[in-house]
Every structure is written in C-alpha cells, then in structure tokens.
Amino acid sequence: MRTLLVLAGLVSLSACKPLSPAGGPREARDIDAYDIDASRLRFVTWNINTIGFPGETEYAAMSDVVNRLQPDILAINEIEDDEDSFIAEDFAAEHGYPFIVVGDHVSMGDDRNAIMSRYPLTPFGVQLSQDPGEEGFMGWNSPALSGDPAALDISRAIVAARIDTPEGSVGVVSLHWKSGGSENKTEFRRAVDVARTLQALDRFTEADHLLAAGDLNVDTFDNAPTPTAFHDVPTGFPARYNVGTDMLARIASPDGLRNHPHATLEEYGLVMNAALQADGSPTTRPSSGRVLDYVYTSPGMVPVDSEVYNSIFDDATGGVPKAGEPLDTLACAQATDHLPVVVDFDMSESGGGGGGPTVLDVDSLTVGDLQITELLADPVDCSDSAGEWIEVHNTSGFPVDLEGVRVRDRSLNVGTLGAISLPVDGYAVLARSASACNVSVDGVFDQVTLNNSGDDVELVASADVVVASVTYGQSEPGLTWREDASGAWCIGPATAG
C-alpha cells in the first residue's frame, strides 16, 4: 500500500531511476466458483473489530467469510491500529485484492476505515500520517474537508476512493460514524460526521456512481433524533474536540445543522439498499439486535441481490450466490460482533453516476488527478525569472479547470493559476512568465522559483490537498527533468510542448 498511495501523488526525481508501477494486475474474481454474472459488482461492508493476527481465530474466521462471499470491493470498519493496518495490507494481498487504502486515527480513537478492491483505485483525501516519516495512510480529515486547520470534529477518517470497474467508475466512501446513544452531544457529533460525509461525496463527479457504506451507528428503527437541527453547540465534549468554522457557520444559519442521519443521506439523493439475513431479520449486530450497517448508493446503481450474511443460516440454499461450501455456523461470531452486508449490482444496467461536477476544479481535484511530467529549473536562452517552467498532465479521466490551483515550492512560495482548461489526458506548460523561451505557455506562476540546486514543486487544490508533487535534485543548464516512455526520470533535452 505504501507504494500505491505515495505514487498516486508524489514522485521523487533522480537520474534515470525507474519507478515501479502502483499495485499490480487485477486478479479476477473466481466467477466459476458460484453462479453470478460477470457484469455484476459485488460489494461488502463489514465492521471487523480488528483483523487480528494470522493463525488466530478471528483472522481465520474473517478469511473464511471473505473467501465465501468473494466481494469485488470490501469496505472495512475498525481496523484497530498501525499494526492492524499493516496486517490488512497482507490480508488484502493474500485474498486477491491488489488495491487497498487505509485511513489513520484522526480524532479521539485509533480505529480506521479501509477499502480493498480487485479493481484499480485512486484514493481521495490527504495523507493522514500521525507520526513523522510515516507514509501511506490516506483519507479525509476535518481540516481537509472544513478548510479550517484547527478543526477536529469527525469521529474517524473518511476513507474514499474512485474505483475503475469495467462498467464505469464508482466513488466509494467507507464510513464509521460516532457511536453511542441519543444524548445531544452524541447526536451532534454524528450530525457533523454526516455533514462531513456529504463533503467527501461532493469530491466525486457526475460521471461517478456513488457508494457510501459502513457502520453508521444509528438504526432506522430508532426514534427520530431531537432536535431536528442544531442551532447551538452542545457541551461535554472531549477537550480535543473542536468544531470547524464551516460547521459553526452552518449551525448559526437559519436551517442549522440537520440532525437526522438517514434522512440527510436520502435528501442528498442517495438510496438505501435493503438487505436481510436468511431468516428475514435486518439485524447487522446480533448482540444488540440493531441494524447499524448500511449501503447507500446513487440512484443509477442497480442492485440485483443482497444479504446480511450470517453463517448460522449458511446452508447453501438461500441468499446471494456464494463460493465454496457452507461455513461453520460460528464463523461470523468468531470474526467480529457485526455481520457483513452484501449487495450485488448489475453494472451493465446501471445508468450515469451521481456525484459532483463533470469538470474537475480546484474544489474537486484530489491526489493523483494531475502529474508533473517535466520541469526546467535552469534555462539558458532566457532568464530564470522568465524561463522556468513545469509541464502538467491531466490523468484524472475528466476535463480539468486549473483556475485557483496553487503552485508551491519548498519555501512555501505560492503562485495561483488562472483559468486553464485541460482536456482528458491533456498537457499544460506552466511557467514563471508568459514569455518563457522555447515553449508555448498555458499558465503562469510568477511567485515561485525553481532552484537550480533542487527543490520541491507541488500542485495544491482546495483544503490544501496536494494533487501532485515532485522533488528534484541538481539541475544542468538547459536540460529538463522529465519522465521518459519507460517511466524512468532522466535529465535530458526538453520535450514539453
């Protein structure tokens, strides 16, 4: 996972050093093992309450359930800590998921969400490392969604990724909202979690199907929350809890902060995908008898089958198609206290997506949507102040408007770009001046200097999301750092434009 996530947005340049591809080839689901159409996409959400160690009962039970259900995409709640995160990477590889993104602890607890996929994924959000030098944890935290660097108001990092299936892209969000009862302070924190979830969903585009799922910690059979909206911030929070300024503005508005989690998702335009155990019960947490785990999608996704899988009722005669033989009746209980929710979608019948804008802009760009493919730090035919430039490649799969995107160097100098339309797979040359020599300039970042001795260059979107970044070393006069056809970075003659 470290390689996958770092290469999504960060490249370190050194002379002719090949870069390893992110992830690996997709491992096909064993469709022959059970009767399911290849055009169907199987999604599972599951609160696992820690993966455990290989050889332990809970790890073996989780492995058995995943092998039985064979999801294409697996959204997980309650990866416990750093060690559990590393085990999750190994678990994913062992079970045929070459693509994985794991969140980090961002608030009061250490639980993380994750997404494992058989299809290539692009993680959304920011790097969430809590420890210096730690890399690879990705997702949305409060500052990135709020724009307030002091915000600390979501329960767990929202892990999000665009997954490229053969039938189209799906924006997946793995959720785990605030647990607890109906106290005002608990419902308030959950209402903020919901609002932040919608902000994360807004980062996808209209071309993306949307899929938001996880342990929401609120049952549709519960009484309606009160108040219906918060117009004041309750008291009694942990000392570290700090509501973002954007949420404070919403609370102060006439409508306030909506306090009805399921209704809020439906008002956003999402559809709940109902699922039942084989005995007809909707319960997803048997010990409490409550329905806490849900799968919501945009209307274009067509569900064709679903099940709350409970190994107690696994007799090979009901529910969704499964691989292999029925499991021991205790398998689910040995794995965790929640049951996995399975939904099969017929992607060949699914219509258009339901996300945000069709053109990505400064508010919707995320890690990996752009790449810096070439740069000139030491021009010889004109001055440095006129002739330094970088080349940018649009790898997002969508048209991009670069207006408002910032170019930033190691010294935190910033140049803000004007309106620049970048088509799908298109390139743009951004320079310190419009009169840069020997290239056609598409945009200007006049406040940033590319040091000849080496520097960092970042493309930064809203909420300080670093969309692309390079670090380069000593330059040579008139030569550029660039990526060649093999993926190696070399110093050589300019090719941009």
> What whole-number distance in Å separates Cα of residue 382 and Cα of residue 433?
11
Instruction: Decide: 423 and 398 in contact? Cβ < 8 Å.
Output: no
Name the strand (E) or helix (H) holding 440. Answer: none
- What is the distance between the alpha carbons of residues 338 and 87, in angstroms, rounded to a whole number? 20
Residue 181 forms part of a structural domain: yes
Same domain, 324 and 223: yes
Q: How many structural domains compose the chain?
A: 2
Q: Are residues 59 and 194 in the same domain?
A: yes
139: in domain: yes
Q: Is residue 360 part of a domain?
A: no
CA-wise closest residue to 93 among 4, 158, 167: 4
pLDDT tens digits, 393-446: 998 777 899 999 999 999 999 999 999 999 888 999 999 999 898 899 999 998
Which alpha helices (H) appear in 378-417, and where do they start and end?
384-387
In CATH, what number is assigned to the domain containing residue 177? Answer: 3.60.10.10
- Mean pLDDT value across residues 249-276: 95
Both 411 and 262 in a single domain?
A: no
Asked if residue 493 lies in contact with residue 480, where contact means CB atoms within 8 angstroms, the answer is: yes
Co-location of 193 and 75 in the same domain: yes
User: How far is it, in rounded angstroms, from Cα 365 to Cα 361?
Assistant: 6
What is the chain's alpha carbon radius of gyration, rounded to the nearest angstrom?
Answer: 24
pLDDT number for residue 152? 93
Of 346, 381, 407, which one is at a domain's C-terminal end?
346
Both structure tokens of 136 = 């690879």
**Domain end: 346, 379, 404, which one?**
346
In-domain check, residue 384: yes
Q: What is the mean pLDDT of residues 447-468?
A: 91
Alpha-carbon distance values, 183 to 115, 216, 220, 230, 337 (Å): 31, 16, 17, 13, 24
Q: List the one residue out of 261, 234, 258, 468 whose CA is nearest residue 374.
A: 468
Enter the pTM of the model: 0.72
**pLDDT for residue 263 is more than 50:** yes
Please report the pLDDT score of residue 1 as a whole number.
Answer: 27
3-class DSSP assignment, residue 477: coil
Task: Find the CATH number of the domain harbouring 476.
Answer: 2.60.40.1260
Residue 62 belongs to some domain of the structure:
yes
Structural domain span for residue 463: 370-492
- Cα distances (angstroms) measured from residue 348 to each of 231, 247, 272: 45, 39, 20
Q: Is the pLDDT of residue 109 over 80?
A: no
Tell me: do 151 and 239 sit in the same domain: yes
Which pLDDT score, from 0 to 100, does residue 133 have?
42
Residues comprising the chain, all counted: 497
- Using CA atoms, how far apart are residues 276 and 298, in angstroms rounded to an integer? 20
The yes-or-no verdict on residue 351 having pLDDT over 80 is no
> Do 276 and 147 share a structural domain?
yes
CB-CB neighbours of 34 under 10 Å? 15
Are residue 340 and residue 388 in the same domain, yes or no? no
Phi, psi of 3 (to 5 degrees): -65, -45
Mean pLDDT over the full length of the chain: 86
pLDDT band at 365 (very low <50, low <70, confident <90, very high): confident
Q: Enter the DSSP assignment of 463.
A: G
Q: What is the pLDDT of residues 66-85, one digit of tens each?
A: 999 999 999 999 998 888 88
Predicted local confidence at residue 363, as pLDDT: 84
Q: What is the pLDDT of residues 430-444, one digit of tens each?
A: 999 998 988 999 999
Render pLDDT for 319-329 as a digit per residue (tens, 0 to 9): 999 999 999 99
Span 163-205, pLDDT tens digits: 999 888 999 999 999 998 889 999 999 999 999 999 999 888 8
Distance from C-alpha of 451 to C-alpha of 443, rounded to nearest angstrom: 19
Q: Does one domain contain both 89 and 208?
A: yes
Q: Both 243 and 106 in a single domain? A: yes
* Percentage of residues in the chain having pLDDT higher than 90: 62
Report residue 375's pLDDT band, with 50, 70 and 90 as the boundaries.
very high
Same domain, 387 and 329: no
Report the alpha-carbon distance of residue 301 to residue 355 in Å, rounded. 12
Out of 295, 314, 346, pick the residue that ends a domain: 346
Contact assessment for residue 306 and residue 342, using Cβ atoms and an 8 Å cutoff: yes
> Reading across the β-sheet that carries 10-12, which strands appear in turn?
10-12, 466-472, 455-460, 406-409, 414-416
Asked whether the CA dihedral 71, 74, 80, 81 is positive or negative, the reply is positive
Higher pLDDT: 152 or 104? It is: 152
Instruction: Write out the H or E segment, with its range, that includes residue 215.
Output: strand 209-215
- Range from 8-17, 103-112, 368-377 that averages highest in pLDDT: 368-377
Average pLDDT over residues 134-152: 81
Between CA 102 and CA 174 the distance in angstroms is 10
Domain membership flag for residue 216: yes
H or E element, residue 457: strand 455-460
pLDDT at res. 352: 58
Q: Are 376 and 426 in contact (CB under 8 A)?
A: no
To which residue do tokens 């205790």 refer?
Answer: 330
Q: Is residue 444 part of a domain?
A: yes
Q: Are residues 147 and 270 in the same domain?
A: yes
Please indicate, yes or no, if residue 3 is contained in any of the structural domains. Answer: no
**Contact yes or no for 157/177 (Cβ under 8 A):** no
Q: Which residue has the higher pLDDT, 90 or 490?
A: 90
E strand or H helix that includes residue 77: strand 73-79
Is the distance from CB of 176 to CB of 140 less than 8 angstroms? Answer: no
Question: CA–CA separation, 379 vs 372, rounded Å?
Answer: 18
Which pLDDT band, with edges at 50, 70 and 90, does 368 fall under? confident
Same domain flag for 190 and 337: yes
Q: Is the pLDDT of residue 479 over 60?
A: yes
At a CB cut-off of 8 Å and minimum separation 6, what does 343 contact? 42, 43, 44, 273, 275, 295, 297, 303, 305, 306
